[in-house]
Amino acid sequence: MRLLLFIFLEVWLLPVQILAFVLIAVGVKRGAGTGVTVTAGKPHDTRHILHKAGYRPDEAVNQIGPHLPHRGPFVHWALGTVGLALRWSGWDSASLRYPPDRPAPIALFVHRRTWFFDQCLERAIQDGVKQVVILGAGWDVRGWGLLADRGVEVFEVDMPATQAVKKQAVAAGGLPMDAVRFVSTDFMEKTWLEAITEAGFDASLPTFFLLEGLIYYLDDASIEATLRDIAAAAPGSALAFDYLALEVIRGEEPHQKLHEQMVGRMERFAPDEPLLSGISTQGDAKGTMVEWLAGVDLELVEWEPFGSETDPFGGLVFAAVAVEA
């Protein structure tokens, strides 16, 4: 009965939902070359739908959404109807459940990633971190939601063009500007660490670093430099990130089809944000990650694969600054 009600609702709502996605695609094409992120849109849209469905309450997502690029009030409302249809029908679909069941397929990896990082943040706060640094923050609004009034200082780091648009959307949505410390840097004049230090970052305090949907857009040298900087943070510090399999990036077995899908999509909609790096998931993927982190003085706390347990197309990582013996 609930499935039938969901189908009935979608019969009426699907046309406006399709129109919303078309408008996003057209807007992305027209806005190419502005230096403003395109890839931050999907995580935002996912969390907006989850909010409307009642799975992950996040009013800040609802407030900022109408003011983000390629969205606007109509698109924001139309995408939200996907979540409303789930809420009104009460249908519990395995393909739309939150948090998604493991293993998370490619269609739900943003859902699973959101849940995983929320859990990492909760754990870090309980363990006593005093600062949270979100690198490549995009349209993330945890500073106004999950992290609000939690006794932590939040720093959001991003490229100048993206952060300028974010600040405008935050103000237009009525969110308090002082909830986070905005730190923009083009990484040419100064490093992200230099930039947050100038913004008031205290290197003596335990800190949680979040690199969500970031490292596959960085080259290997930049990833290593970033992780080594984090590894030098105060005792009790931790980080979380997601990654894609090197085989996905290179188009090698067993992920050639996924490579074609992802690279093709990026070339069409986000040509300025190419996928650059990955970490092999063949063989013992978890063991590979343990060794990879040890090479930059970090220790694995928790690891979860994307997709199949035997042939994951990437993974989720929660790691800690290594404790000196």
Report pLDDT digits (tens) over 131-174: 999 999 999 999 999 999 999 999 999 999 999 999 999 999 99
User: pLDDT at position 28, please?
Assistant: 84
What pLDDT does 97 receive? 81
Which residues, in sequence order, are CB contacts of 316 under 8 Å at separation 6+? 112, 113, 116, 117, 240, 241, 242, 302, 303, 304, 305, 306
Integer Cα distance of 151 and 53 in angstroms = 29
What confidence tens digit (pLDDT) does each residue in 179-216 have? 999 999 876 667 999 999 999 999 999 999 999 999 99
Using one digit for the tens of pLDDT, what is the confidence trace for 71-115? 999 999 999 999 999 999 998 887 778 888 888 888 888 999 999
Residue 193 has a pLDDT of 95
- Give the per-residue pLDDT at 135: 96
Give the lowest-confidence range in 34-38, 54-58, 95-99, 211-215: 95-99
Q: Is the confidence at residue 325, as pLDDT, over 70?
A: no
Q: How confident is the model at residue 324, as a pLDDT?
A: 65
DSSP 95-130: TT-SSPPSSBPGGGHHHHHHHHHHHHHHHHHHTT--
Task: Return the pLDDT at 200.
Answer: 97
Is the CB of residue 21 less than 8 Å from the CB of residue 45? no
Q: How far apart are CA 236 and CA 152, in angstroms?
A: 14
> Which among 67, 82, 95 has a CA at the least distance from the CA of 169?
67
Lowest mean pLDDT among 13-22, 126-135, 154-163, 303-312: 303-312
The per-residue pLDDT for 58 is 96
